[in-house]
Structure 1
Amino acid sequence: MTSMAGELLEVLWGRATTAPVSASQLRVLFILEHHEGINLRTLADSLASTPPSTSRLCDRLQAAGFVERVVSPTDRREVRLHISSRGRAFLADLRARREKALRVVLDQMPHAHRTALLQGLEAFCDAAAAQIPGDAPGSGSQTA
């Protein structure tokens, strides 16, 4: 059931294209949104990637205007990564398009089933958040 639900969400969300960013770049934006000002090594660890690969991802995101690099005020050798206002606007638009696609499906469900789904999703989010270092259950952090 979970794989079918995941596949259906991919189909629905596939209609809300992530262009001009790739799936890997989108993950970077989500991480930066919730961990503003992290350094490249921490981001690479979060992605289970290498710093050179992560740096290239950030190079492309910076060229697109979605990411900004700022020299750390405490160590000039360290660069901090921030999502730009353009990156935030992109994520907001992507979430709105994905939400619209989901709303079409939810509107076709009976009210009692929507309520049950909401309760189940809240429990799922709490359990999933407990698996992510730095996120507390019920913290309200969102990803698309």
Structure 2
Amino acid sequence: MSETIGFLLNDTARMYRRAFNARVRDSGITALQWRMITYLRRNEGIRQGPLAEVLEVEPITLSRMVDRLVEAGLVERRADPTDRRAWLLHLTPRTDALLEGIRPTVDRLAEEATEGLSAAERDQLTALVERVRANLSRRICQKDQKETA
């Protein structure tokens, strides 16, 4: 029996997270924290609520994650000038050093995960998975719009 694309992607992501966590354990961050830092790097100054939605975690879960990263000196909360109840999240300069230190491990994991694939096949795989993600993202956004209308 052939597995569905959803099963394969989910199972592969689970295995990737496990391998990532095992390799960067000494750094003090997890795969989910790495994802959060990556999103923060792309969306510096995002509020916690929208970041929780993107990461698909409960706001309280994100708040605890942010607390740990603040304590580690990797993230800082800044007051939102437009809403005194909200916080904007920013990476600290210390995060750059952490990311640079972990980058070789992340690159090696990616190499191992795509072992046996040519450079063209790796590029194609990335493009195809990005297209699947875009398709799902579009449908999720359309569904959310219909539900709020």
Task: Name the TM-score class by shorter chain.
Answer: 0.5 to 0.7
1:75-99 Cα offsets, whole Å, 9 max, x none, are 2222101122222332333232221
Structure 1's 54 and 105: CA in aligned 2 closer, same or farther, altered over 3 A?
A: closer
| Structure 1 gap segments, 5+ residues each | 134-144
SS in 1 for 2:88: strand
Quote the Cα distance in structure 1 between the aligned partners of 2:110 and 2:49.
35
SS in 1 for 2:84: coil
Give the number of aligned pairs: 130
Q: Is the 8 A contact 1:16 1:97 kept in 2?
A: yes
Q: For residue 17 of structure 1, what is the aligned residue in structure 2?
A: 24
Task: Measure how far apart 1:62 and its partner are.
Answer: 0.3
The amino acid that maps onto 1:89 is A
1:97 to 89, 100, 105: 105
Q: Residues 1-144 of structure 1: matches in 2 within 5 Å?
A: 2=8, 9=16, 13=20, 16-18=23-25, 19-103=27-111, 109=116, 113-132=118-137
TM-score by length of 1: 0.66
Task: Measure how far apart 1:122 and its partner are.
Answer: 2.3
Task: Measure how far apart 1:10 and its partner are.
Answer: 5.3
Task: Measure how far apart 1:126 and its partner are.
Answer: 3.5
Higher relative contact order (CA 8 A, sep 6+): 1
Q: For residue 144 of structure 2, what is the aligned residue in structure 1?
A: none
Q: Is the 8 A contact 1:29 1:83 kept in 2?
A: yes
How large is the RMSD of aligned CA atoms in angstroms? 3.1
Task: Measure how far apart 1:71 and its partner are.
Answer: 0.8
TM-score by length of 2: 0.65
Q: For residue 141 of structure 2, what is the aligned residue in structure 1?
A: none
Task: Measure how far apart 1:12 and its partner are.
Answer: 5.6
Higher share of residues assigned helix: 2
Quote the Cα distance in structure 1 between the aligned partners of 2:134 and 2:13.
18
